[in-house]
Every structure is written in C-alpha cells, then in structure tokens.
C-alpha cells in the first residue's frame, strides 16, 4: 500500500505523492493497459501450452518409468495443490482469514460461509 502512495522507481529515491498515482490512473486511457494485458496473456498462454506439449513428448521417450516422470512433474503440481488448499482455507466457514480480517475491522459481526451451496428457492 505504501508504494502506491509514492513515486518509487528503480532509478530515483522514493518520494511521497499521496493519491496522485490513483488520480493518474483514473485520468489515463486504459485501452493500452488492456491491450498489453491481452497480448501478454495470449503470448504467455501460447508459450505455456507449446512448452508443456513439447516436454510431454520429450518425457515419453526420455524418462522411462513412473518414478522419474513423477519426480519431473512434481515441482509443477505442488504449487497448484498448495494454492488450492490456501484458497480453501481463506474461505473456510470457521477458520477463514478473510472472515477474521473483516470481523477485526468491524465490517462483520460474524463470519460468512463463503463456500456453501446456494439454496434454490
């Protein structure tokens, strides 16, 4: 949050500028940001798919045996599993970090059951 209130860059010392960054974003043309995000997203997704398929074909011949394939793929699967567990914990009905923060801030009186099924009426 502090960085958003300063003009911090790599080459210059940090200087407090208040809400000027937010004013600049509100006044700016957001089309270039959307375009850049779309380009980066498309390129990154295409690169991931291409490299994943290429590695999958390489692994078919280069790594005989289930143990070596598992050891090779494990570094990619662990972050996904941990991220899933973290989100489940963040939105847990009893131990939710999000509920705790909202209760401590005085926004809520009791926690919300974020992951409950919606009732049909």
pLDDT digits (tens, 9 = 90+) for 18-73: 898 888 888 887 778 888 889 999 999 999 889 888 877 777 776 666 667 777 77
The pLDDT tens digits of the residues spanning 70-112 come to 777 778 888 888 888 888 888 887 788 888 888 899 998 888 8
Give the per-residue pLDDT at 88: 86
According to the model, what pLDDT value does residue 64 have? 64
CA distances, 108 to each of 33, 70, 100 (Å)? 35, 45, 9
Q: What are phi and psi of 44, to 5 degrees?
A: -65, -40
* Residue-level pLDDT at 43: 93
Whose tokens are 């959307």? That residue is 34
Q: Is 99 exposed, middle or buried (0-12, 13-18, 19+ CB in 10 A)?
A: buried
């Amino acid at each position: 949050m502090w960085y958003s209130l300063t003009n911090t860059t790599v080459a210059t010392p940090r200087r407090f500028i208040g809400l000027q960054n937010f004013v600049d974003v509100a006044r700016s043309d957001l089309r270039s940001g959307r375009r850049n995000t779309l380009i980066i997203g498309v390129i990154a997704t295409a690169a991931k798919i291409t490299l994943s398929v290429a590695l999958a074909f390489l692994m078919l011949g280069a790594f005989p045996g289930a143990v070596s394939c598992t050891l090779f793929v494990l570094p990619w699967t662990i972050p996904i599993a941990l991220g899933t567990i973290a989100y489940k914990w963040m939105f847990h009905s009893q131990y939710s970090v999000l509920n705790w923060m909202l209760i401590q801030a005085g926004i809520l009186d009791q926690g919300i059951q974020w992951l409950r099924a919606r009732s049909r009426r």
